[in-house]
């Protein structure tokens, strides 16, 4: 229990600090606008009703619930309150109170399993001392399954706490894993017992077949004595095979209890479906592997959270996704920036990566260059050539439209506030070599 207590008193606050330090000022407002706009407006209305003095235009927009919102004006009015709104949303989604129920569940299950192990140990000593035996599985199998489940809970929870990625669903899974340890032991004990019984029967049959079928006279006595020896050997062989079956079942139960959750569920499904002669088709996450930096272990984490496509990565709340997968917030943002580009350019995004346009921030930087800089047309032409196939290319106008759509995405606007690419009012060189003034970041106009 000590690692869980440490996480609730230290790790949880460190995780919150990671998100809060990444989302500063305008970036925090852009995040709330993109993923929690209704909640943000409701909170601002609550502040207004409580007597907060907003400017006249912002107050009018908050009163007119059905009217169009000028988010620039609301951003200036909401700046002092966005952090409180974010904290309230975060506590609702991932607050410490949500950990109380699974923590108590794990605590109760652990104590119950400890009692069961004590009782099963008494059963291994002698049948007379056995106070309570659980199910049909031998005591060593039950103890092995409970030990494996406990070891998995400790090992996986310590790893998650060290990465500050422990969440409520993980704790429920830990409790469920320990709760299901005995049924899993029953399954594998039955499978191993059936195998041992079949092997023992075959051994007895072979020994019986080796006896002479017919004998006469004095030889019958010798054969009778030999048959007695053969029967004793068969009994000893059967006992040895039964012991071997129990040892095998215990080893399997311990090993299976150590498997990760998704692997364990697949093993159980395969075991059941094999009996029903049904073929199990594995879920694939090949589409996610197209994102730069995505690996097979990371894909497993996404699949376990129900994220199968690039579209989901582009539209899911990055904080919620980071919490559920346990990945760093910056890495989730990196995947989201790539997903935005792939949503508009498809597999052609692989070719754009070669010229530095693999994520949405690069498009934002290009489109926000001042009109005096002619590099935008050159960049569009370069993109047009890069994605051309079989001597057919997209018209420059279509490329321009896609670029503007990428930059106009709320996710892109949030990313731009997270990591500004250039300071304000600084002079830099355009692609053509002419100096151009960097304008303040703003949302580009939609094409007419």
* 303-329 pLDDT, tens digit each: 878 888 898 999 899 998 998 888 889
Give the range among 92-101, 133-142, 395-404, 418-427 with minimum mean pLDDT: 418-427
Query: Of 94, 112, 132, which one is at a domain's C-terminal end?
Result: 94
Range of weakest confidence among 52-66, 104-118, 122-136, 214-228: 214-228
Question: Is residue 366 domain-shared with residue 417, that is, in the same domain?
Answer: yes
Tell which residue, 340, 336, 402, 407, has the closest CA to residue 368.
407
Give yes or no for a contact between 296 and 276, defined as CB atoms under 8 angstroms apart.
no
Q: What is the pLDDT of residues 211-228, one digit of tens each?
A: 444 434 444 434 444 445
**Does 395 reside within a domain?**
yes
Over 60: is that where the pLDDT of 439 sits? no
46 and 126 share a domain? Answer: no
382 versus 62: which is more confidently predicted? 382
Boundary (domain end) residue, out of 57, 75, 94: 94
Q: What is the mean pLDDT of residues 202-214?
A: 44
| DSSP-derived secondary structure letter, 97 | G
Q: Is the pLDDT of residue 229 over 60?
A: no
Query: What's the pLDDT score for residue 202?
Result: 46
Q: Same domain, yes or no, for 193 and 262? A: yes
Residues 153 and 71 in one domain: no
Residues 79 and 110 both lie in one domain: no
Q: Which uninterrupted H or E stretch holds 241? A: helix 219-257
Query: Comparing 5 with 445, which gets the higher pLDDT?
Result: 5
Q: In this structure, is residue 290 part of a structural domain? A: no
Domain hosting residue 365, numbered range: 331-437
Tell which of 74, 94, 114 closes a domain.
Answer: 94
Give the number of other Cβ atoms within 10 Å of residue 238's Cβ. Answer: 17
The upper half-sphere exposure of residue 424, i.e. CA atoms within 13 Å in the direction of its Cβ, equals 4
Query: What is the per-residue pLDDT for 218?
Result: 43
Highest mean pLDDT among 64-73, 384-393, 400-409: 400-409
Least confident of 74-83, 144-153, 234-243: 234-243
pLDDT(196) > 90: no
Residues whose CB falls within 8 Å of the CB of residue 187, separated by 6 or more in sequence, listed in order = 268, 271
* Residue, of 60 and 386, whose pLDDT is higher: 386
pTM for this model (two decimals):
0.69
Helix axes 71-78, 56-63, angle to 10 degrees: 110
In a domain? residue 185: yes
Residue 302 counted as domain residue: no
Given a cut of 70, is residue 64 above it in pLDDT? no
User: 31 burial class (0-12, 13-18, 19+ CB within 10 angstroms)?
Assistant: buried
Res 83 pLDDT > 80: yes
Q: Cα–Cα distance between 247 and 189 in angstroms, integer?
A: 10
pLDDT at 170 over 90: no
The rounded percent of the chain whose pLDDT value lies above 90 is 4
pLDDT band at 37 (very low <50, low <70, confident <90, very high): confident
Q: Which residue has the higher pLDDT, 175 or 284?
A: 175
pLDDT score of 364: 85
Residue 109 has pLDDT above 50, yes or no: yes
Question: Is residue 55 located within the same domain as residue 126?
Answer: no
Query: Would you tell me the crossing angle of helices 100-125 and 139-162 to the nearest 10 degrees?
Result: 150
Question: Where does the pLDDT of residue 423 fall: very low under 50, low under 70, confident under 90, or very high at 90 and above?
Answer: very low
Tell me which residue of 12, 105, 1, 3 sits closest to 323, measured CA to CA.
Answer: 12
pLDDT tens column, 238-270: 555 555 666 777 777 787 777 776 666 666 666
Q: Does 91 have pLDDT greater than 70? A: yes
The 10s digit of each residue's pLDDT in 264-302 is 666 666 666 665 555 544 545 578 888 988 888 888 788
In a domain, 74, yes or no: yes
Tell me, yes or no, whether 73 and 115 share the same domain.
no
- Looking at the structure of the chain, the number of domains it has is 3
pLDDT attached to residue 67: 54
Q: Is residue 224 part of a domain?
A: yes
Q: Give a yes or no: residue 88 inside a domain.
A: yes
Contact 83, 90 (CB under 8 A): no
236 and 251 housed in the same domain: yes
Confidence bin at 339 (pLDDT 50/70/90)? very high
What's the whole-number average pLDDT of the chain? 73
Same domain, 111 and 84: no
How many C-beta atoms surround the C-beta of residue 342 within 10 A?
22
**Res. 335: pLDDT tops 90:** yes
Statement to judge: residues 88 and 135 lie in one domain = no
Are both 65 and 43 inside the same structural domain?
yes
pLDDT of res. 338: 92
DSSP string, 289-352: GGSTT--HHHHHHHHHTT--SHHHHHHS-HHHHHHHH---HHHHHHHHHHHHHHHHHGGGHHHH
254 and 149 both lie in a single domain? yes
- Identify the weakest region by mean pLDDT among 96-100, 123-127, 203-207: 203-207
Query: How much is the pLDDT for 279?
Result: 52
Does residue 339 belong to any structural domain of this protein? yes
Closest among 91, 111, 182, 171 to 144, alpha carbons compared: 182
């Amino acid at each position: 229990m000590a690692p869980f207590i440490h996480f609730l008193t230290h790790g949880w606050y460190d995780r919150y600090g990671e998100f809060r330090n990444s989302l500063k000022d305008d970036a925090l407002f852009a995040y709330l606008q993109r993923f929690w706009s209704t909640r943000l407006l409701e909170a601002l209305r609550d502040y207004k009703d409580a007597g907060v003095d907003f400017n006249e235009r912002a107050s009018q927009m908050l009163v007119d619930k059905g009217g169009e919102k000028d988010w620039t004006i609301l951003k200036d009015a909401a700046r002092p309150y966005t952090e409180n709104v974010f904290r309230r949303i975060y506590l609702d989604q991932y607050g410490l109170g949500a950990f109380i129920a699974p923590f108590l569940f794990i605590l109760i299950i652990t104590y119950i399993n400890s009692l069961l192990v004590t009782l099963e140990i008494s059963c291994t000593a002698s049948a007379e001392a056995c106070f309570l035996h659980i199910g049909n599985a031998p005591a060593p199998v039950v103890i092995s399954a409970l030990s494996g489940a406990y070891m998995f809970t400790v090992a996986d929870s310590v790893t998650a706490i060290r990465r500050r990625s422990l969440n409520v669903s993980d704790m429920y899974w830990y409790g469920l894993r320990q709760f299901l340890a005995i049924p899993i032991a029953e399954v594998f004990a039955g499978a191993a017992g059936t195998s041992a019984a079949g092997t023992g029967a075959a051994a007895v049959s072979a020994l019986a077949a080796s006896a002479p079928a017919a004998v006469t006279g004095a030889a019958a006595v010798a054969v009778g004595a030999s048959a007695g020896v053969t029967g004793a050997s068969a009994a000893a062989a059967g006992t040895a095979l039964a012991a071997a079956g129990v040892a095998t079942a215990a080893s399997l139960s311990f090993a299976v209890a150590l498997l990760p959750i998704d692997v364990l569920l697949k093993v159980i499904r395969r075991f059941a479906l094999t009996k029903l002669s049904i073929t199990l088709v594995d879920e694939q996450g090949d589409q996610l592997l197209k994102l730069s930096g995505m690996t097979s272990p990371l894909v497993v984490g996404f699949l376990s959270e129900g994220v199968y496509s690039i579209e989901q990565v582009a539209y899911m709340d990055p904080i919620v996704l980071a919490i559920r997968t346990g990945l760093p917030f910056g890495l989730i943002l990196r995947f989201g920036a790539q997903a935005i580009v792939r949503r508009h350019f498809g597999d052609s995004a692989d070719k754009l990566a070669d010229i530095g346009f693999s994520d949405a921030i690069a498009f934002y930087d290009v489109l926000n260059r001042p009109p005096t800089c002619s590099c935008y047309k050159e960049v569009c032409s370069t993109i047009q050539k890069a994605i051309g196939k079989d001597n057919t290319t997209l018209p420059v106008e279509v490329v321009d439209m896609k670029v503007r759509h990428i930059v106009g995405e709320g996710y892109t606007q949030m990313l731009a506030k997270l990591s500004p690419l250039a300071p304000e009012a600084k002079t830099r060189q355009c692609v053509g070599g002419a100096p151009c003034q960097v304008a303040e970041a703003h949302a580009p106009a939609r094409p007419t």
